[in-house]
Amino acid sequence: MRHPADYYNPLTIILHWLIALIILGLIVLGFVMTRPSIDPSLQFSLFQWHKSFGILALLLAAIRFIHSLALVRVRPAAGMSPLEHRAAKMMHHALLVLAVGVPLAGWMVASVSPLEIPTFAFNLVVVPHLPVPKSDAAEAWWTMAHAVLAYSMLALVFLHSGAALYHHYRRHDDVLTRIFGGRRHPVKTSIREWRS
Amino acid sequence: MTRKTALFTALLFAVSFPQAGQSAVEVPSLAEVAGRYAITPGSSIAFSVGQVGGGGIKGKFGKFSGTFNLKAGDLAHSMVSFELKPESVMTGQDRIDAFLRSGAVFDSSQFETISFRSEHVEQTGPDSARITGTLTAKGRSMSESFDVTLTAWSGRMIAFNVSGRIFRSRYAMDVGTPIYSNVVQFDMMIKGERN
């Protein structure tokens, strides 16, 4: 069950930054590997790295998602209005869902493609295709969906990061520092406000 | 290309040693089949590359040509020459075809042909042989062997099944390994018409 706390536990912090790093790397990789002028051999290799790290991102994001539902959540920072708190919650939920949804959409791209290129994660594990019909049209649709969701998530990451920096430099609260493990100034917030 | 060569060699062997028997095809004598043959368009140059988890890529080449010269009483000096156009590769998937033609694999705009020239023929059975020669692809020449089995013979026409395993890494075509096998399995049906 959820337990309101004043700081994030180490697992949450590690998952947060690991997933953030992988997702940002995947978006950069995804952009580079889809440039029309890229060398075909390099492109193939980059696609396979993208799929390998995508599967890893899906695994970690699923753990993070379940963890966020079942375990610790922190109290909102002091001084946040109910509207700000609601916006923060919506942002966090959206990021948690997209962190799972974007790699799932990528898995669908590989699964519906008539090319049937295996997903051989890190050249170690064959990840089977999802049991879905294959067609060029389905591949094009899921490719578009994967890209739209990924770039939408990137936009949310910028907003999320901007909000954290705003809290740190303007509000001078510990919203940013506590995701780095800081707990020097535990935030005291009423249960009522936390639930709002 | 190489397959055709192998077929020729196999034919030669079969002709040289008809007494070995046990062939699915009535094996003619070498004197009967001696001569120069042209590989006909009705031949088939098929290949497959396995992939992890099963399945793989299967394809064929549509443009090829070649000749073989079966010399009566001198099988070892029989010659096979074969060329194919990698541009003509067909897998049933346009994107895979384009990838195979690109610099990642055949680089067919720079290297327009893949060729095989036989150098040595070794009989392996009453109707089979192994042809060894030089395979040249993407600017690299390597010694390769193909197994040839006589499958049909009717006067002016002769046919062989030719099979061989080629390591594509030897020709700088190993993109995609280990997802796709380094081994390309050739399974060719070479038909020759005597000139």
Domains of chain B: 2-194 (2.40.128.110)
**Residues from chain A contacting residue B96 (CB–CB below 8 Å):** 115
Nearest CA in chain B to A128: B53
Q: How far apart are CA A155 and CA A60, in angstroms?
A: 21
pLDDT of B5: 44
Structure tokens at A147: 């890209």
Class of domain A4-183: mainly alpha
pLDDT of A187: 44
A118 with B102: Cβ contact below 8 A: no
Q: How far apart are CA A80 and CA A188, in angstroms?
A: 12
Contacting A residues, span 72-91, partner chain B, CB-CB under 8 Å:
none
Contacts of residue B104, defined as CB under 8 A and 6 or more positions apart, other chains included, come to A39, A40, A41, A44, B173, B175
Domain positions in chain A are: 4-183
pLDDT of A73: 67
pLDDT of B10: 41
pLDDT of B54: 92
Rg of chain A over Cα atoms, rounded to whole angstroms, equals: 19
Could you tell me if B155 lies within 8 Å of chain A, comparing CB atoms? no
pLDDT of A2: 53
pLDDT of B39: 97
Contacts of residue B13, defined as CB under 8 A and 6 or more positions apart, other chains included, come to B75, B121, B122, B123, B124, B125, B127, B128, B129, B148
pLDDT of A176: 87
B52 with A118: Cβ contact below 8 A: yes
- Residue B186: which of B121, B126, B131, B108 has the closest Cα? B131
pLDDT of B112: 97
Low-confidence ranges of chain B (pLDDT < 50): 1-21
Distances (CA, A) of A36 to A29, A140, A142, B45: 14, 16, 19, 32
Q: What is the pLDDT along chain A (196 residues), one digit of tens a residue?
A: 455 667 788 888 999 999 999 999 999 999 999 999 999 999 999 999 999 999 999 999 999 999 888 765 677 777 788 898 899 889 999 999 999 999 999 999 999 999 999 999 999 999 999 999 999 999 999 999 999 999 999 999 999 999 999 988 988 888 888 888 876 554 443 333 344 3
ipTM over 0.85: no
Distances (CA, A) of A165 to A89, A174, B62: 17, 10, 62
pLDDT of A3: 55
A120 with B55: Cβ contact below 8 A: no
A115 with B52: Cβ contact below 8 A: no
CA of A60, closest CA in chain B: separation in Å?
A: 24
pTM over 0.80: yes
CA of A125, closest CA in chain B: separation in Å?
A: 10
Nearest CA in chain B to A44: B176
**Residues from chain A contacting residue B97 (CB–CB below 8 Å):** none
